[in-house]
Structure 1
Amino acid sequence: MSARARPVATRLTTNPLPAAAHRFPGDRRCPGQARRALRQQLEIWPIDGELADSAELLLSELVTNAVQAQASDAPHVGVRFVWSGGHLRLEVQDASGELPVMNDAKEDDECGRGLVLVDALASGWGIDRGATGRTVWAELAVCNVSASCGAAALHSP
Protein backbone atom coordinates (compact mmCIF):
# COMPACT_ATOMS: atom_id res chain seq x y z
CA MET A 1 0.00 0.00 0.00
CA SER A 2 1.35 3.40 -0.91
CA ALA A 3 1.99 6.01 1.76
CA ARG A 4 -0.74 8.11 0.21
CA ALA A 5 -3.37 5.40 0.22
CA ARG A 6 -5.96 5.54 2.91
CA PRO A 7 -8.17 2.73 4.06
CA VAL A 8 -11.74 2.88 2.86
CA ALA A 9 -13.99 4.32 5.53
CA THR A 10 -16.56 1.97 6.88
CA ARG A 11 -20.08 3.23 6.41
CA LEU A 12 -21.83 3.78 9.71
CA THR A 13 -25.29 2.38 9.99
CA THR A 14 -27.82 4.84 11.27
CA ASN A 15 -30.77 4.04 13.45
CA PRO A 16 -34.13 5.33 12.27
CA LEU A 17 -35.24 8.59 13.82
CA PRO A 18 -37.29 8.03 16.98
CA ALA A 19 -40.06 10.40 15.84
CA ALA A 20 -41.98 11.39 12.73
CA ALA A 21 -44.51 14.19 12.24
CA HIS A 22 -47.06 14.90 9.52
CA ARG A 23 -49.76 17.46 8.79
CA PHE A 24 -52.94 16.60 6.89
CA PRO A 25 -56.01 18.51 5.73
CA GLY A 26 -58.72 18.03 8.36
CA ASP A 27 -61.30 16.46 6.08
CA ARG A 28 -62.83 12.98 5.73
CA ARG A 29 -59.66 11.66 4.05
CA CYS A 30 -57.47 12.58 7.02
CA PRO A 31 -57.84 9.33 9.05
CA GLY A 32 -56.84 7.20 6.04
CA GLN A 33 -53.86 9.44 5.24
CA ALA A 34 -52.71 9.29 8.87
CA ARG A 35 -53.01 5.48 8.95
CA ARG A 36 -50.91 5.17 5.78
CA ALA A 37 -48.22 7.43 7.26
CA LEU A 38 -48.22 5.36 10.46
CA ARG A 39 -47.91 2.06 8.55
CA GLN A 40 -44.95 3.45 6.62
CA GLN A 41 -43.27 4.57 9.83
CA LEU A 42 -43.91 1.27 11.60
CA GLU A 43 -42.24 -0.55 8.69
CA ILE A 44 -39.15 1.62 9.18
CA TRP A 45 -38.97 0.93 12.92
CA PRO A 46 -39.96 -2.33 12.28
CA ILE A 47 -43.11 -2.76 14.31
CA ASP A 48 -45.80 -5.14 13.12
CA GLY A 49 -48.42 -7.62 14.24
CA GLU A 50 -50.91 -6.88 16.97
CA LEU A 51 -48.99 -3.81 18.16
CA ALA A 52 -49.17 -2.24 14.69
CA ASP A 53 -52.86 -3.12 14.38
CA SER A 54 -53.63 -1.55 17.78
CA ALA A 55 -51.60 1.56 16.93
CA GLU A 56 -53.49 1.95 13.66
CA LEU A 57 -56.86 1.64 15.39
CA LEU A 58 -55.88 4.12 18.12
CA LEU A 59 -54.60 6.64 15.60
CA SER A 60 -57.72 6.31 13.48
CA GLU A 61 -59.95 7.02 16.47
CA LEU A 62 -57.89 10.01 17.62
CA VAL A 63 -57.71 11.55 14.14
CA THR A 64 -61.43 11.01 13.50
CA ASN A 65 -62.21 12.77 16.80
CA ALA A 66 -59.90 15.64 15.83
CA VAL A 67 -61.54 16.11 12.43
CA GLN A 68 -65.03 16.10 13.98
CA ALA A 69 -64.11 18.50 16.80
CA GLN A 70 -62.26 21.09 14.76
CA ALA A 71 -63.66 24.44 13.79
CA SER A 72 -63.90 24.99 10.03
CA ASP A 73 -61.44 27.91 10.11
CA ALA A 74 -58.55 25.63 11.22
CA PRO A 75 -58.67 22.72 8.79
CA HIS A 76 -55.40 20.93 9.53
CA VAL A 77 -54.61 17.98 11.79
CA GLY A 78 -51.08 17.21 12.92
CA VAL A 79 -49.91 13.72 13.84
CA ARG A 80 -46.68 12.67 15.49
CA PHE A 81 -45.35 9.18 16.17
CA VAL A 82 -42.63 8.62 18.78
CA TRP A 83 -40.83 5.38 19.54
CA SER A 84 -38.88 5.80 22.76
CA GLY A 85 -38.34 4.31 26.18
CA GLY A 86 -40.33 1.16 25.54
CA HIS A 87 -43.42 3.04 24.32
CA LEU A 88 -44.98 3.91 21.00
CA ARG A 89 -46.65 7.29 21.42
CA LEU A 90 -49.25 8.60 18.99
CA GLU A 91 -50.09 12.31 19.15
CA VAL A 92 -52.87 14.11 17.28
CA GLN A 93 -53.00 17.90 17.32
CA ASP A 94 -55.95 20.01 16.24
CA ALA A 95 -57.22 23.54 16.74
CA SER A 96 -60.13 22.61 18.99
CA GLY A 97 -60.12 23.92 22.51
CA GLU A 98 -62.64 21.35 23.69
CA LEU A 99 -61.68 18.42 25.85
CA PRO A 100 -62.66 15.05 24.41
CA VAL A 101 -65.45 13.26 26.25
CA MET A 102 -65.71 9.53 26.83
CA ASN A 103 -69.31 8.70 25.90
CA ASP A 104 -71.45 5.91 27.24
CA ALA A 105 -72.63 4.68 23.83
CA LYS A 106 -75.65 2.43 23.59
CA GLU A 107 -75.44 -0.95 21.86
CA ASP A 108 -77.10 0.30 18.67
CA ASP A 109 -75.24 3.66 18.48
CA GLU A 110 -73.05 3.96 15.40
CA CYS A 111 -70.47 6.24 17.00
CA GLY A 112 -69.34 7.41 20.42
CA ARG A 113 -66.98 4.56 21.34
CA GLY A 114 -63.69 6.08 20.18
CA LEU A 115 -62.27 7.09 23.55
CA VAL A 116 -63.59 3.91 25.15
CA LEU A 117 -61.46 1.98 22.63
CA VAL A 118 -58.49 4.25 23.27
CA ASP A 119 -58.86 3.73 27.01
CA ALA A 120 -59.09 -0.05 26.59
CA LEU A 121 -56.15 -0.48 24.17
CA ALA A 122 -53.64 2.16 25.27
CA SER A 123 -51.26 1.76 28.17
CA GLY A 124 -51.90 5.46 28.79
CA TRP A 125 -53.54 8.45 27.13
CA GLY A 126 -54.22 12.10 27.82
CA ILE A 127 -54.72 15.63 26.56
CA ASP A 128 -52.27 18.52 26.44
CA ARG A 129 -53.79 21.95 25.86
CA GLY A 130 -51.82 24.62 24.06
CA ALA A 131 -52.32 28.19 22.92
CA THR A 132 -53.51 27.06 19.48
CA GLY A 133 -55.49 23.96 20.35
CA ARG A 134 -54.98 20.57 21.91
CA THR A 135 -52.90 17.44 21.51
CA VAL A 136 -54.56 14.14 22.34
CA TRP A 137 -52.04 11.33 22.80
CA ALA A 138 -52.05 7.62 23.43
CA GLU A 139 -49.21 5.24 24.24
CA LEU A 140 -48.73 1.55 23.67
CA ALA A 141 -46.19 -0.46 25.65
CA VAL A 142 -43.54 -1.94 23.37
CA CYS A 143 -41.77 -5.11 24.36
CA ASN A 144 -39.12 -7.32 22.83
CA VAL A 145 -40.10 -10.75 21.52
CA SER A 146 -38.05 -12.38 24.27
CA ALA A 147 -39.52 -10.20 27.03
CA SER A 148 -42.70 -11.20 28.75
CA CYS A 149 -45.25 -8.46 28.52
CA GLY A 150 -48.97 -8.25 27.88
CA ALA A 151 -48.69 -6.06 24.78
CA ALA A 152 -47.84 -7.23 21.30
CA ALA A 153 -44.25 -8.02 20.40
CA LEU A 154 -41.79 -5.77 18.64
CA HIS A 155 -39.24 -7.28 16.32
CA SER A 156 -35.93 -5.76 17.35
CA PRO A 157 -34.17 -3.71 14.67
Structure 2
Amino acid sequence: MPLSRQRRFPRARRSVPAARTFALETLAQWGYRDRQDDVRLCVSELATNALLHGVPPGREFSLVLVGDGPLVRIEVRDSGGGSPQVSEAEADDFGGRGLPLVMALADDFGVTPHHPGKTVWTVLKMDPAEVKDGDGSS
Protein backbone atom coordinates (compact mmCIF):
# COMPACT_ATOMS: atom_id res chain seq x y z
CA MET A 1 0.00 0.00 0.00
CA PRO A 2 1.44 3.41 -0.95
CA LEU A 3 2.57 5.85 1.73
CA SER A 4 1.18 9.36 1.43
CA ARG A 5 1.57 12.63 3.30
CA GLN A 6 0.41 16.16 2.52
CA ARG A 7 1.01 19.61 3.94
CA ARG A 8 -0.22 23.08 2.99
CA PHE A 9 2.08 26.10 2.90
CA PRO A 10 1.23 29.83 2.85
CA ARG A 11 2.19 32.22 0.07
CA ALA A 12 5.46 33.26 1.72
CA ARG A 13 9.19 32.93 1.03
CA ARG A 14 9.69 30.82 4.16
CA SER A 15 7.43 28.17 2.62
CA VAL A 16 10.07 26.95 0.16
CA PRO A 17 12.62 25.85 2.79
CA ALA A 18 9.76 24.55 4.96
CA ALA A 19 8.52 22.42 2.04
CA ARG A 20 12.04 21.06 1.43
CA THR A 21 12.40 20.14 5.10
CA PHE A 22 8.97 18.49 5.18
CA ALA A 23 9.78 16.42 2.08
CA LEU A 24 13.22 15.29 3.21
CA GLU A 25 12.08 14.44 6.75
CA THR A 26 9.03 12.54 5.48
CA LEU A 27 11.00 10.51 2.97
CA ALA A 28 13.69 9.73 5.56
CA GLN A 29 11.00 8.52 7.98
CA TRP A 30 9.72 6.20 5.25
CA GLY A 31 13.25 4.94 4.58
CA TYR A 32 13.88 6.69 1.25
CA ARG A 33 17.37 8.00 1.82
CA ASP A 34 18.89 8.21 -1.66
CA ARG A 35 18.54 11.08 -4.16
CA GLN A 36 18.17 13.69 -1.40
CA ASP A 37 19.75 16.39 -3.57
CA ASP A 38 17.29 15.58 -6.39
CA VAL A 39 14.35 15.75 -3.96
CA ARG A 40 15.64 19.03 -2.54
CA LEU A 41 15.96 20.61 -5.99
CA CYS A 42 12.62 19.32 -7.30
CA VAL A 43 10.67 20.48 -4.23
CA SER A 44 12.46 23.85 -4.28
CA GLU A 45 11.72 24.51 -7.93
CA LEU A 46 8.11 23.33 -7.89
CA ALA A 47 7.31 25.23 -4.69
CA THR A 48 9.06 28.38 -5.95
CA ASN A 49 7.15 28.25 -9.23
CA ALA A 50 3.87 27.83 -7.35
CA LEU A 51 4.65 30.88 -5.21
CA LEU A 52 5.79 33.04 -8.12
CA HIS A 53 3.19 32.03 -10.69
CA GLY A 54 0.38 30.01 -9.17
CA VAL A 55 -0.64 31.04 -5.68
CA PRO A 56 -2.97 34.05 -5.57
CA PRO A 57 -2.63 36.43 -2.59
CA GLY A 58 -4.14 34.98 0.56
CA ARG A 59 -4.01 31.40 -0.76
CA GLU A 60 -1.77 28.39 -0.12
CA PHE A 61 -0.12 25.62 -2.09
CA SER A 62 0.01 21.98 -1.09
CA LEU A 63 2.87 19.54 -1.27
CA VAL A 64 1.95 15.87 -1.53
CA LEU A 65 4.47 13.03 -1.24
CA VAL A 66 3.62 9.50 -2.27
CA GLY A 67 5.97 6.57 -1.76
CA ASP A 68 5.03 3.45 -3.69
CA GLY A 69 7.79 0.85 -3.69
CA PRO A 70 10.61 2.15 -5.90
CA LEU A 71 8.72 5.29 -6.93
CA VAL A 72 8.39 8.58 -5.07
CA ARG A 73 5.93 11.11 -6.45
CA ILE A 74 6.24 14.79 -5.53
CA GLU A 75 3.19 16.94 -6.26
CA VAL A 76 2.75 20.68 -5.82
CA ARG A 77 -0.80 21.95 -6.26
CA ASP A 78 -1.82 25.58 -6.51
CA SER A 79 -5.04 27.40 -7.34
CA GLY A 80 -3.63 29.78 -9.94
CA GLY A 81 -4.36 29.83 -13.62
CA GLY A 82 -2.11 28.95 -16.51
CA SER A 83 0.25 26.09 -17.09
CA PRO A 84 4.03 25.97 -16.60
CA GLN A 85 5.98 26.90 -19.72
CA VAL A 86 9.28 25.14 -20.26
CA SER A 87 11.73 27.09 -22.37
CA GLU A 88 15.46 27.43 -22.82
CA ALA A 89 16.97 30.14 -20.63
CA GLU A 90 19.46 32.52 -22.16
CA ALA A 91 22.91 32.77 -20.58
CA ASP A 92 22.15 36.13 -18.96
CA ASP A 93 18.62 35.25 -17.76
CA PHE A 94 18.04 35.29 -14.00
CA GLY A 95 15.37 32.57 -14.13
CA GLY A 96 13.90 29.95 -16.39
CA ARG A 97 16.18 27.05 -15.51
CA GLY A 98 14.09 25.36 -12.82
CA LEU A 99 11.67 23.21 -14.79
CA PRO A 100 14.31 22.03 -17.29
CA LEU A 101 16.44 20.93 -14.31
CA VAL A 102 13.48 19.13 -12.71
CA MET A 103 12.68 17.41 -16.00
CA ALA A 104 16.32 16.34 -16.43
CA LEU A 105 16.44 14.81 -12.94
CA ALA A 106 12.97 13.25 -12.92
CA ASP A 107 12.05 9.82 -14.14
CA ASP A 108 8.63 11.24 -15.04
CA PHE A 109 7.11 14.72 -15.01
CA GLY A 110 3.77 16.27 -15.78
CA VAL A 111 1.05 18.81 -15.13
CA THR A 112 -2.52 17.91 -14.19
CA PRO A 113 -5.01 20.77 -14.69
CA HIS A 114 -7.77 21.40 -12.13
CA HIS A 115 -10.51 23.96 -11.80
CA PRO A 116 -9.10 26.05 -10.27
CA GLY A 117 -5.38 25.53 -10.56
CA LYS A 118 -3.05 22.70 -11.40
CA THR A 119 -0.77 20.06 -9.94
CA VAL A 120 2.82 19.95 -11.16
CA TRP A 121 4.32 16.59 -10.35
CA THR A 122 7.49 14.60 -10.73
CA VAL A 123 8.39 10.97 -10.08
CA LEU A 124 11.80 9.80 -8.89
CA LYS A 125 12.93 6.18 -8.78
CA MET A 126 14.44 5.48 -5.38
CA ASP A 127 15.76 2.51 -3.46
CA PRO A 128 12.80 1.00 -1.57
CA ALA A 129 14.92 -1.44 0.44
CA GLU A 130 14.67 0.68 3.57
CA VAL A 131 10.98 1.60 3.32
CA LYS A 132 9.11 1.00 6.55
CA ASP A 133 5.67 -0.58 6.74
CA GLY A 134 2.78 1.61 7.82
CA ASP A 135 0.22 3.88 6.31
CA GLY A 136 2.42 6.98 6.41
CA SER A 137 -0.56 9.28 6.62
CA SER A 138 -0.67 12.36 8.78
Bin the TM-score by the shorter chain.
0.7 to 0.9
Answer yes or no: is the 8 Å Cα contact 1:70–1:95 preserved in 2. Answer: yes
Within the candidate set 31, 55, 73, 2:16 is matched to 31
Larger radius of gyration: 1
Alignment of 1:4-153 (within 5 A): 18-49=3-34, 51-143=35-127
Gapped runs of 5+ residues in structure 2?
133-138
CA RMSD of aligned residues (A): 1.9
Q: What TM-score, normalized to structure 1?
A: 0.77
Answer yes or no: is the 8 Å Cα contact 2:20–2:43 preserved in 1. Answer: yes
Structure 2 CA distance, aligned partners of 1:28 and 1:38? 17
Detail structure 1 runs of 4+ shifted over 2 Å in the superposition. Answer: 70-75, 154-157
Q: Which amino acid aligns with 2:75?
A: E
CA-CA distance at 1:134 after TM superposition: 0.5
Answer yes or no: is the 8 Å Cα contact 2:11–2:59 preserved in 1. Answer: yes
Answer yes or no: is the 8 Å Cα contact 1:97–1:129 preserved in 2. Answer: no
Gapped runs of 5+ residues in structure 1?
1-14, 145-153
CA-CA distance at 1:107 after TM superposition: 1.8
Q: Deviations over 1:74-98 (max 9, x none)?
A: 5201000000142100000001121
Q: Deviations over 1:113-149 (max 9, x none)?
A: 01100110000010111122100000001235xxxxx
Answer yes or no: is the 8 Å Cα contact 1:39–1:52 preserved in 2. Answer: yes
- Between 1 and 2, higher relative CO (CA 8 Å, sep ≥ 6) is seen in 2
Structure 2 CA distance, aligned partners of 1:57 and 1:81? 15
SS at match of 2:16: helix
Structure 1 CA distance, aligned partners of 2:60 and 2:4? 20
Structure 2 CA distance, aligned partners of 1:108 and 1:35? 27
